Structure 1
Amino acid sequence: MPTLSPRPTLLRWLLPALAVVGMSAGAGWWLGQRPGIRPAPIDPRRAALTREAEGLRERVRTLRDTTEHRQRLLELLVGLDRKPEAIALLEGWADREPQRWSLRLMLAELRRDQEDRRGAERELRQILHQRPTQIEALQLMSLLLLEQGRGAEAEALVKAASDATVKATGKAGSLEHGMLLAELRQRRGSPAAAEATYKTLMEAFPGDQRPALALAFLRQQRGQLAEALVALDQARERGGPDATNRATLDRLAASWRLKALRQSPPKAGGSSPAAPSARPAGAGSEPPAP
């Protein structure tokens, strides 16, 4: 489901390089940065990655590179924490291949990572100018705007994209846009509006679990366990008996029911033993047998 967490676009490319570079960074590397302390030896694996990056940079500089070369160089530059060079590489690449909006999205992610929110917003607006309903760009733009206290602008942007989808398709719109809009409303402190949006999506997309599941978590976060269980049961029903996540939802429902049981107040006249009355000894009782 759409989320406002940072998008995994870069991670799909960069995890292998990050893992290798992370392994090559010895635990005592930072000691070499302290004055008066002998620098630690250069790790041979990190040095090899650096040499590989330099060779690929030369290919790019002399126009002898391929898409695979640029992708590998990008992985290495980010993994070696040379983010400004990665940004420079992506700038030229995105300009040469403007049809590949994912390149500009990665560029926006890197700029945000470097605290260049204005630059990140500029890249995203270029994408949205050509593709105003692009969900990945809308997600990152929403996150950027929220970080700057511009939540109303983010909500208006996503609402416009959702309305455009409805107009273009003549249907109920995009589930992804609706889910993002509901999350924005929740983040902005309007849980009632978020709940109403999820309910609308449940009616429009009766075969999809995600709106009901999101509604269940929203209610659970608000402490409404009984209502959350109703929505969770609806999500389970929408998945059918063969849903791959059925066992997980069953366990979650059992956990929430147990929590609700623990939180429920004891019923009057229940099975708990009554406390003894504080009557004076012998009052209202039969006299002892002689």
Structure 2
Amino acid sequence: MSDLESLSAEERERVQMRREIIDDLDEEFELSLEDDAGGIGGLGAEERAFRRVYFRELVRLQGELIKLQDWVQATGHRVVVLFEGRDAAGKGGAIKRITQRLNPRTCRVAALPAPNDRERTQWYFQRYVAHLPAAGEIVLFDRSWYNRAGVERVMGFCTDDEYEEFFRSVPEFERMLASSGIQIIKFWFSITDDEQEARFRARMDDPLKQWKLSPMDLESRKRWEAYTLAKEVMLERSSIPEAPWWVVQGVDKKKARLNCISHLLSLVPYQPVSRPEVVLPPRIYHPDYERQPTPESMIVPELY
């Protein structure tokens, strides 16, 4: 007899629920292992203490994100969140923590590849419009139409005329979205030169992260100052009342995630939404039903 079988039904339910919660917390630890160069054992007392705060706050903020999601669904609100920043600035990690516990049908990520030959002949914003939210949806853009103000400008992928046209058009485009009822939130993740170099070197040495380093990322290291200038121009010329820029200090990844999520929550006027009580229906049994055995050839080998 297993340990669970010796417990009452109520006790078994409590144990199983506790295991589910622990499993979720274990997942959080797994997601954050990438941040610990020396592993868990290499952390000092202060770092371990903050780690406990981080996980506690992350779970609390993710609970608030679920409330926000429920409100967006109930009201038909539409939200677009743009994540911009230098390579390795922590955008992907923040997006991962935001979406981790949300319904992917309500909150989805748009990470568009470089435009193809046909898209290069379209209106610049056209391929992004297809990913905008419908009523009751949240869309997170992992890089956005601001590619033109950043990488395209620095790497010479657009002409001076196209660059200037972008800054003439983008305020009108975003005001048009805002007037149609789409809330636009724009985050720039800021890191230092030294921190980006450290993260790049960590990716070079880690086989699990090497895929994150593209030739374009490596080229960006040589053009740090050009990216800085492009970022300063972008923030100055495209921060408007309807869609202001918000700068996230990203040198400390965990603090950046918490600060980003907390600020995102503060910008959306969500309220708790009452849910109908969920009642589990009774299982229907049929005396003539007999479960058929699964063929051994279909069973996944149990290696663990």
TM-score interval (norm. to shorter): under 0.3
Structure (1 or 2) with the greater helix fraction: 1
Which has the larger Rg?
A: 1
Write 1 or 2 for the structure with the bigger share of strand: 2
TM-score by length of 1: 0.23
